[in-house]
Amino acid sequence: METTGKSALLVGATGLVGSEVVKILLQSTKYQSVTVLTRRLLPLNHPKLEQVITDFDQLDQYKQHVQVDDVYCCLGTTIKTAGSQEAFKKVDFTYPLELAQFTKAAGAQNFFIITAMGADPNSKVFYSRVKGEVEAELKKIGFPTLHIFRPSLLLGERKEFRLGEKIGVILSPVLSFLMVGYLKKYKPIHAKDVAMAMYQASQRPGSGSFTHESDEIYNLGSVTKI
């Protein structure tokens, strides 16, 4: 089957969700080209794939690579990994916002980003506040279509160890059984389902700003047709 000629840009392709997103985008007949901005090369070779080694502190140097239709932002870290709240905010707020500004100016129509359950710019919790702040700022940029994904605990094989998530994975079968009705949005969710939900949202008609909580992400991700 021939592609439709759309182009996609992905950042965060080495992460838990991003690594699944890039696989889906490369398989999809909807995209003719997929550009990945990354600090290190992915072990992937594909005729549609362009990998650009990127210094995210100098994003303005890569403007020639951001002229795309759809932008997928899967950037994210933890305060422990980043080393400080300031470093964390750079990855989870500054980089996504700069990326959005550059790509919007270059003509991108659709922006897809993963934040987190509980994102709230007024939260007393630093992590949730930063996630909420980036959501609020992205809405001001004016993309024709903005999709925000707020997954709960992510399941999957991480390269880095996170104690809290490891405990969640162990308890996941019990948590999933207990969380019904309103609590469904708190159920742990697989990274593959989040990645598929992002892709399926990109295929929906219509414009505007959409926020997807974890239970809706699960429903979107259950549609596996690419």
Question: What pTM does this model have?
Answer: 0.87
What's the token pair of residue 172? Answer: 């996941």
Q: Taking residues 215-223, report their average pLDDT.
A: 89
Of the listed ranges 84-93, 175-184, 200-209, the least confidently predicted one is: 175-184
Across the chain, mean pLDDT equals: 88
pLDDT of residue 182: 54
CB 182 within 8 A of CB 120: no
Report residue 206's pLDDT band, with 50, 70 and 90 as the boundaries.
confident
Domains plus CATH for the chain?
6-221 (3.40.50.720)
Residue 185 pLDDT class (50, 70, 90 cuts): low
d(CA 108, CA 28): 19
**Degrees (nearest 5) of the Cα angle 210, 58, 31?**
45
98 vs 106: CA distance, rounded Å: 12
Cα torsion angle, 45, 225, 67, 40, sign: negative
The tokens of 16 are what? 């838990």
Q: List beta partners, residue 113.
A: 73, 148
Q: Report whether 8 contacts 25 (CB < 8 A).
A: yes
Determine the 3-state secondary structure of 44 from DSSP: coil
Task: Supply the pLDDT for residue 36.
Answer: 98
